Amino acid sequence: MPVYQYKHLAPTDCPLGESFDTVQSMRDKAHATCPRCGAPVRRLISRVFVATAIGDSQLKSMGFTKLVRRDQGVYENVTATGRESRYMEAGKPETLPDLKRKIGD
């Protein structure tokens, strides 16, 4: 989901600070007021979702699969769950991440 930046319209002592980031679905409407202090806020230009700023365990809990190249033709699935193989090797289909199951979730 994309990250949006909001800014309080007036100077504030809100615990979130003058401006804050929030993750929202693209279907959600922009907040008109701060979710923390209730003061009016304005949504700034949306920023691109940066996957590298998110930890592997968070990616995993969000249902993403991240592969890290470890050697020629060998990738580590750092978000492996359940019966998934931790390492994916070229030419070994049984080591492929179980993407079908994740998409169906």
Binding site for Zn ion (CB under 5 A): 14, 16, 34, 36-37
Question: 21 vs 71, which CB is nearer to Zn ion?
Answer: 21
Q: How far is the CB of 17 from Zn ion (least distance, A)?
A: 8
Question: 32 vs 103, which CB is nearer to Zn ion?
Answer: 32
Angstrom distances, CA of residue 45 to CA of 6, 10, 27: 9, 18, 16
Question: 16 vs 74, which CB is nearer to Zn ion?
Answer: 16
